[in-house]
């Protein structure tokens, strides 16, 4: 793949381990820094609420506490990214959005112009939902779907989700040991989208359903999405070299 605009999405469960930042963040930053030489790279990162909780353990079942945790955690998360990206000579930018930013064509166009300036200057945008001001009516709630919007509205060629879920399986791999990973998916049935959301980490929001919704949104618009492990980055490195052995590629017709 040459000179592509690629969006990466990293979830809380990939970044944090037992309430502490994992060295997986170092590895992801190293990968994105490598790719930024040849491609345009954007990162949609969760982890603000989780990071906030490490400093101030509020009960996150209350919405205003969750908003407060995001406000506490977002700068902490950015600091961790900034320090790591700087080691590779990369500048990062914080971009916080709400679903309402994608509701209006004018706001989306304005945001895209700004993103283009960042990318032309090799600055890596680190995007998250503006959780501290996002109330229900303007809330994505999960970064899987947010990253699909970012990919489509900011004209990216591909979304890569680095997750604790390393592929889509024929059945739930936790309950069925015969479940097999699917390499390519070209159609998502509605009943798959109506399952309950079941994130694997108590600070994560998504699960496989929100990933499928993101994939469906992009497939309907002819944009591919690749779901793979955030633990083993060799699979994404190989995939980008044209060698798809692990992970699921969702690829629909427009």
Binding-site residues for substrate, in ranges, read: 46, 131, 143
Written as six digits, the tokens of 180 are 């097999």
Interaction between residue 205 and ligand GLU (CB under 6 A): yes
Residue 100 CA, distance from chain mean position? 19
Task: Name the residue nearer to ligand GLU (CB basis): 126 or 240.
Answer: 126
User: How many helices (H) does the chain have, and how many strands (E)?
Assistant: 9, 10
What are phi and psi for residue 154, nearest 5 degrees? -105, 25
Q: Which is nearer to ligand GLU, 47 or 247 (CB)?
A: 47
User: Angle 63-87/24-36 helices, nearest 10 degrees?
Assistant: 60
* Interacting residue with ligand GLU among 119, 204, 208, 227 (CB under 6 A): 204
The number of beta carbons lying within 10 Å of the beta carbon of residue 182 is: 15
Sign for the pseudo-dihedral over CA of 14, 139, 192, 8: negative
Nearer to ligand GLU, 143 or 229 (CB): 143
Q: Does 206 bind ligand GLU (CB under 6 A)?
A: yes
> Is residue 188 a contact partner of residue 195, using CB atoms and an 8 Å limit?
no
Question: What is the spatial distance between Cα 19 and Cα 27, in angstroms, rounded to a whole number?
Answer: 18
Candidates 87-95, 111-119, 127-135, 216-224; binding stretch for ligand GLU (CB under 6 A)? 127-135
Q: How far is the CB of 76 from ligand GLU (least distance, A)?
A: 11
Query: Judged by CB under 6 A, which stretch of 22-30, 100-108, 201-209, 222-230 contacts ligand GLU?
Result: 201-209
Distance in Å, CB of 145 to ligand GLU, minimum: 8
Which stretches of the chain bind ligand GLU, using CB under 6 A? 11-12, 46-50, 70, 128-129, 131, 142-143, 204-206
């Amino acid at each position: 793949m040459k000179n592509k605009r690629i969006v990466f999405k990293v979830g809380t469960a990939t970044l944090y381990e037992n309430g502490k930042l994992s060295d997986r963040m170092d590895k992801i930053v190293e990968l994105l820094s490598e790719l930024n030489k040849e491609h345009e790279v954007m990162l949609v990162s969760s982890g603000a609420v989780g990071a906030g909780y490490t400093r101030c353990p509020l009960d996150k079942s209350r919405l205003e506490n969750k908003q407060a945790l995001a406000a506490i955690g977002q700068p902490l998360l950015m600091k961790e990214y900034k320090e790591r990206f700087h080691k590779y000579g990369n500048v990062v930018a914080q971009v916080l959005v709400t679903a309402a930013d994608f509701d209006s064509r004018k706001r989306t166009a304005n945001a895209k112009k700004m993103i283009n300036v960042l990318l032309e200057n090799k600055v890596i945008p680190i995007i998250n939902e503006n959780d501290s001001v996002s109330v229900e009516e303007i809330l994505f709630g999960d970064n899987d779907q947010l990253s699909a919007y970012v990919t489509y509205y900011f004209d990216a060629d591909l979304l890569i989700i680095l997750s604790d879920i390393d592929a889509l399986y024929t059945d739930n791999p936790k309950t069925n040991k015969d479940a097999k990973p699917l390499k390519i998916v070209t159609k998502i049935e509605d009943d798959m989208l109506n399952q309950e959301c079941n994130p694997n980490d108590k600070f994560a929001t998504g699960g496989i359903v929100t990933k499928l919704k993101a994939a469906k949104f992009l497939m309907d618009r002819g944009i591919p999405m690749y779901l793979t492990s955030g633990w083993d980055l060799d699979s994404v490195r190989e995939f980008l070299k044209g060698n798809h052995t692990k992970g699921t590629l969702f690829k629909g017709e427009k």
